Every structure is written in structure tokens, then in C-alpha cells.
């Protein structure tokens, strides 16, 4: 896997994952981050899937100079794989994943597929004095789900040790969370901007990380409100599954539920 190392240190960065072809949320996120004095914006991958018109996100990402890494979806679309490699093991989850993937693969221009193929799997950077590793699912597997309730401290420590980092930033699961170990190291799942996080509101989330000299890393989750109704109408016009549209409007997940641990599943409606 390729790793790209940023040459200079950052004081504040904005990081998001899971765009899922939601150009409306992406535009709103970039606007918001642009007002927050960030040195750079990073995307942890999964540009397509779920939403409509997958080609619309690429001009926004490239125009804003977003520094990307490759998610499992991007890798699959770039290489023309037969499925998204999302890591689902349940037949119901896979049913909906297949619908999304076929739609996205058939509507992503070859130039964008080639561009996704050039993205690194990991990025390393200095956040002030903190060495950070940016990945998609986990440092060891692109499609590994790291949920808050099923990622023990011992695993976080092991991942940080193996990555030789003080901070790991990841996404893939779709719900943000942050763990600070007793030794001061961090793992942050930055969440996704393409789909609400099963909390009953249509907003989505990205993450601001700020490193001030002599202070602990500051991690702030930022809610983003966007024109979700416009997205929902576009999805209906594209005949995407009504279950997906319902999630955009209500904020409750209706699909990909079976991969949720019990605790995260209990918080949702379905």
C-alpha cells in the first residue's frame, strides 16, 4: 500500500470521510471548513456510493485542493471490481451495497476512476508535535470497521504502536467517535459527510483537529447542515432505493444495519 508523507507540519486541519456522492454536503463542508482557518483539508475516502451523480464531487474536491486517500469504494471503482469491498457479511447489507455499486460504477467517468486510482492508501503528517497516520478503515485493513463500542483500548494501542503514530484518523464505519488513551495518544473516527449518522437528524459531521504547542490535541466534531431535500429529490429522480432517500430525510439508517454492533444499533430507529 502506498503512503504519502506531507513535508510540513500543520496546526489545524479539517478531515472528513465518506462523501458517498453527496455533492451538496461536500460543498457545505468545504464552505464551513474554509471559514475556520485550516491549513489543509483531507478526505479519508469513499467518494461514491449511496448518492446520485457520482461525477459531481470530483470538481469540488479538486477545486478546493482536498488531499485524499483511497477508500475501499474508490479502489473498487478505480479497478472496476465486481463489488465495493465494503466488508459486509450479511445478505441484506450486501443487497443494498450491490445496488449502490452498480449505479456508481456505471456513472463514474473514466478520468475520475483513473484519478481515484492514483490516491495513496495512507498519509502521514505532523499535527504540531503529534505524528498522525490517516487511513480509511484502519491502518491494517482498508475495509475494517472501527466502531466505538467494539474497539478496545488494547487494540487502539496496538494500532498506534504498529503505525508508529500518536494519532490515527480513520472513517469507513459512518459514525464519528474519539478515544484518548491514558498515555495521551488518540484515535479519531472522523465520521462521514455523505450520510447522516443514524441519530434522527439529517445533518452530517466532519472533524477539526488543532495542535497548539504545549497543549493536548484538540478534536472538534463539526455538524454540517446542507440542502438534504435537494439531494433526496435527485436520488428519487435517479430511482435510487427509497430506503436510501428515507435515511437522507430522517437521519435514521434503514440499510447497512447488520454491520452495526448492538450498542450502536440500539441507538437507531431500525
For another protein, the binding residues (CB under 8 A) are: 88-92, 140-141, 145, 147, 149-152, 154-155, 157-159, 257-259, 261-266, 270
Q: What CA–CA distance (Å, rounded) separates 75 from 46?
A: 9
CB of 91 to another protein, least distance (A): 5
From residue 135, alpha-carbon distances to 69, 107, 187, 245 in Å are 7, 26, 11, 28
CB of 253 to another protein, least distance (A): 11
Question: Which residue, 182 or 239, has its beta carbon nearer to another protein?
Answer: 182
From residue 203, alpha-carbon distances to 83, 207, 224 in Å are 28, 14, 6
CB of 139 to another protein, least distance (A): 11
DSSP structure class, residue 35: T
CB of 89 to another protein, least distance (A): 5
Question: Which residue, 215 or 263, has its beta carbon nearer to another protein?
Answer: 263
Task: Answer for the pair 223, 206: CB distance below 8 angstroms, yes or no.
Answer: no
Question: Which residue, 162 or 212, has its beta carbon nearer to another protein?
Answer: 162
Is the Cα dihedral 138, 224, 92, 85 positive or negative?
negative
CB of 112 to another protein, least distance (A): 26
Question: Which residue, 234 or 264, has its beta carbon nearer to another protein?
Answer: 264
Strand order in the sheet with 3-5: 3-5, 122-127, 130-134, 167-170, 186-189, 177-180
Question: Which residue, 229 or 258, has its beta carbon nearer to another protein?
Answer: 258
Amino acid at each position: 500500500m502506498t503512503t504519502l508523507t506531507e513535508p510540513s507540519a500543520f496546526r489545524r486541519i479539517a478531515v472528513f470521510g465518506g462523501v458517498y456522492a453527496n455533492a451538496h454536503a461536500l460543498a457545505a463542508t468545504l464552505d464551513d471548513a474554509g471559514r475556520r482557518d485550516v491549513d489543509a483539508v483531507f478526505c479519508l475516502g469513499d467518494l461514491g456510493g449511496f448518492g446520485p451523480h457520482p461525477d459531481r464531487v470530483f470538481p469540488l474536491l479538486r477545486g478546493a485542493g482536498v488531499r485524499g486517500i483511497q477508500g475501499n469504494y474508490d479502489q473498487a471503482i478505480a479497478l472496476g471490481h465486481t463489488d465495493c469491498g465494503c466488508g459486509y457479511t450479511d445478505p441484506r447489507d450486501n443487497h443494498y451495497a450491490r445496488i449502490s455499486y452498480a449505479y456508481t460504477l456505471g456513472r463514474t467517468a473514466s478520468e475520475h476512476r483513473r484519478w481515484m486510482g492514483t490516491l495513496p492508501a495512507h498519509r502521514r503528517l505532523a499535527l504540531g508535535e503529534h505524528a498522525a497516520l490517516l487511513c480509511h478503515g484502519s491502518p491494517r485493513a482498508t475495509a475494517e470497521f472501527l466502531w466505538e463500542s467494539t474497539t478496545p483500548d488494547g487494540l487502539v494501542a496496538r494500532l498506534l504502536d504498529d503505525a508508529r503514530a500518536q494519532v490515527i484518523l480513520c472513517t469507513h464505519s459512518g459514525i464519528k467517535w474519539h478515544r484518548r488513551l491514558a498515555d495521551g495518544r488518540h484515535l479519531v473516527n472522523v465520521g462521514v459527510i455523505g450520510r447522516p449518522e443514524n441519530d434522527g437528524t439529517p445533518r452530517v459531521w466532519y472533524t477539526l483537529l488543532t495542535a497548539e504547542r504545549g497543549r493536548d490535541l484538540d478534536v472538534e466534531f463539526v455538524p454540517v447542515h446542507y440542502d438534504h431535500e435537494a439531494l433526496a429529490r435527485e436520488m428519487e429522480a435517479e430511482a435510487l432505493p427509497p430506503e436510501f432517500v428515507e435515511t437522507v430525510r430522517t437521519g435514521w439508517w434503514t440499510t447497512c444495519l447488520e454491520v452495526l454492533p448492538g450498542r450502536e444499533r440500539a441507538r437507531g430507529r431500525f
